[in-house]
Structure 1
Amino acid sequence: MAKDTKHRLIEAGLGLLLERGYSGLGILAVLEATGTPKGSFYHHFRDKEDFALQVIDAYVSEVHAQLEACLSDEAVGPLDRIRGFFEATARVYESQGYMGCLMGGIGQELAATSEVFREKIEGCFTAIAERISVCLREAQRRGQLSPDADVLAIADLIVDGWEGAALRSRLRRNPASLSAMLRLYFDALPAIAPTAGAESGAAAP
């Protein structure tokens, strides 16, 4: 029962954080949304900050589960796996009314005022980029990217571009920015692949 209560609180917290941000998150609203007594809340969380950090942890766990599900599917080419992860993420945004990325939203709100949140969210983005870079290295081995390409820099750029597109999709309440970002980035990636007939190990011009 205790585990169920904590799960319900975190689930409600996710929705409220997406909608209102950290500053607009009230513990009373979480309690009312879940029908939970205040004492039960403080049994699981020290305070509002601890609660929000645990909500972010739960959100990140879901993101990484989706990331692994997409990027581990060896029946699909590595670049298509990466794109598939972001397309799946876009569908999640749609189901949430295009509220955007929780990490991006909280990061923009708190990065300048809370080192705890800044470090946690930056660490999350770094971990996602590192996992994507593994798939990009596979693309290199398959000859889909130049062997000289900096795959971690490319992965960072993809994550950065996605977060910007997620913000615009939230502002517009539609997926146009997300779709445009994916087309731009994944149409551009072949441009840094080896050219036909190029010597092995040579970068594309």
Structure 2
Amino acid sequence: MTAVPAQHDVRQHILDIAYPLLLRKGFTAVGLAEVLAAAQVPKGSFYHYFGSKEAFGEAVLEAYFADYLGRMDTLLAQPGTAAQRLLDYFYDWLDSQTGDEAQSRCLVVKLGAEVCDLSETMRAALARGTGGIVERLARCVEAGRADGSLAEAVGDARTLGATLYQNWLGASLLAKITHDRTPLDTALIGTRQLLGLRLYT
């Protein structure tokens, strides 16, 4: 049985418990009663921290992106060329989407289409979070040009960052649909081509 956390940790505890539920079932299918039962907190505690289910969904997304962007910052700050850091980030993405650990799955793939039609605040949280991902990819492309690991010919950094993210997001969705990692492997090949890198190094 999960221990009930100290009072100051209750909000984060609810978010932590809810994340795998939403990742597995989606936003609409998860009721507040299910979240409260799993977190072992009363309804009053939930509404103390979240004014509505919509506000709760926004908070889940914000917490997800805070963790994700922090991990991304760590990966893109590793030693080596910027081109290698970009590849390492996408190798990590591939591993996270094909491994056995369900907790690593992409929440954007799971909730993106569903919640954008339900909630403007949740759509905006998704837009902010995905925008942060694209911005980091663009900065790494610029760093690659500066250190010589990426050629100028690869194009505008912002456009390339957005293209890479869109390719991988689409590949993750297709891999989920097909239960096959081939779309992600294809995305990795396409990433090397977009970056002007040899296919196998």
Q: Fold-level match, TM-score > 0.5?
A: yes
In structure 2, the residue matched to 1:70 is 75
Residues 158 and 185 in structure 1, CA contact (< 8 A), matched pair in contact too: yes
Report the CA distance between 1:76 and its aligned residue: 1.7
Structure 1, unaligned runs of 5 or more: 192-205
2:191 to 161, 167, 185: 185
In structure 2, the residue matched to 1:196 is none
Percent of matched pairs sharing the same residue: 24
1:63, 1:115 → 2: CA distance? Answer: 22
Structure 2, unaligned runs of 5 or more: 1-5
Look up the SS of the partner of 1:190 in the other structure: coil
In structure 1, the residue matched to 2:129 is 124
Report the CA distance between 1:95 and its aligned residue: 4.3
Alignment of 1:185-204 (within 5 A): 185-190=191-196
1:116, 1:99 → 2: CA distance? Answer: 24
Which segment is superposed worse, 10-19 or 96-105? Answer: 96-105
Which segment is superposed worse, 87-96 or 111-120? Answer: 87-96
Which segment is superposed worse, 159-168 or 102-111? Answer: 102-111
| Count of residue pairs brought into register by the alignment | 190
1:4, 1:120 → 2: CA distance? Answer: 22
2:57, 2:68 → 1: CA distance? Answer: 16
Report the CA distance between 1:100 and its aligned residue: 4.2
Say if 2:128 is the partner of 1:114. no
Report the CA distance between 1:15 and its aligned residue: 0.8
Report the CA distance between 1:67 and its aligned residue: 0.8
In structure 2, the residue matched to 1:163 is 169
2:76, 2:92 → 1: CA distance? Answer: 12
Rate the CA distance shift 1:34–1:112 in 2: closer, same or farther, 3 A.
closer
AA of the residue aligned to 1:21:
G
1:88, 1:72 → 2: CA distance? Answer: 14
Say if 2:60 is the partner of 1:55. yes
Deviations 1:48-90 (A, max 9, x none): 11111111111101111111101112x2211221221232233
Alignment of 1:83-98 (within 5 A): 83-93=87-97, 94-97=99-102
In structure 2, the residue matched to 1:104 is 109
Residues 140 and 147 in structure 1, CA contact (< 8 A), matched pair in contact too: no
Say if 2:59 is the partner of 1:45. no
2:143, 2:110 → 1: CA distance? Answer: 31
Deviations 1:82-115 (A, max 9, x none): 2212322333333443884212332211223432
Under a length normalisation based on structure 1, what TM-score does the superposition of the two structures give? 0.83
Rate the CA distance shift 1:174–1:10 in 2: closer, same or farther, 3 A.
farther
Larger Rg computed on CA atoms: 1
Residues 97 and 173 in structure 1, CA contact (< 8 A), matched pair in contact too: no
Q: Which runs of 4+ in 1 moved over 6 A?
A: none
Under a length normalisation based on structure 2, what TM-score does the superposition of the two structures give? 0.85
Residues 130 and 155 in structure 1, CA contact (< 8 A), matched pair in contact too: yes
Which segment is superposed worse, 173-182 or 125-134? Answer: 173-182
Rate the CA distance shift 1:19–1:124 in 2: closer, same or farther, 3 A.
same
